[in-house]
Structure 1
Amino acid sequence: MDLSADFLWEKLQRELEVEHVEVEVEDKTLNCWASSFRVLVVSPKFEGKPLLQRHRLVNSCLAEELPHIHAFEQKTLTLEQCSREWQK
């Protein structure tokens, strides 16, 4: 299974119609099966949804990949929240 940052970026981009995606990868071991990913996802699909529902959307999008990922951290923002953060 391809668990590259590019693969995850493309899948999130395609399935969640995101405005912005950042995927960071941190390999903590020499074992290619133990990667850590940190993602920032900004999507209009998050509008009006609480944080838990947003995370569930991302988790369902990556349902096949998550069992093969050692650690996964996500930050999910609406367009408005993202604009406010970038203005800081």
Structure 2
Amino acid sequence: MNPQIIQELIETGLPGASARVQGDDGVHFEATVVCEAFAGKLPLARHRMVYATLGDRMGGEIHALALRTLTPEEANRTV
């Protein structure tokens, strides 16, 4: 698995999302995902939304995925 494929899966599964994925060993990754659909949701719910876009790949092809999930407003505040 490579970061580009994970980015595409997340952005396809969460319409309007923007994902930045990093990882160089093929199984451990870090992602920052910005999506309006995260508004009003707790971090665990946001993470579940992202994991749902990856399906069975989680725990298999993707051993670990560290997530930072933000709404566009939250992302603008951190810049």
TM-score, length of structure 1 as denominator length: 0.80
Mapping of residues 1-88 of structure 1, within 5 Å: 3-27=1-25, 35-68=27-60, 69-86=62-79
CA distance in 2, matches of 1:19, 1:9: 10
Which structure's CA Rg is the greater one?
1
Task: Compute the RMSD of aligned alpha carbons.
Answer: 1.3
| TM value normalised by structure 2 | 0.88
What residue ranges of structure 1 are gaps of 5+ in the alignment?
A: none
CA 1:26/1:62 → structure 2, altered by over 3 Å: closer, same or farther?
Answer: same
Deviations 1:11-62 (A, max 9, x none): 11111124421000131xxxx6xx2110000001101111111011011111
Q: In percent, how many aligned pairs have the same letter?
A: 31
The answer for unaligned runs of 5 or more in structure 2 is none
Within 1, Cα distance between the matches of 2:23 and 2:56? Answer: 18
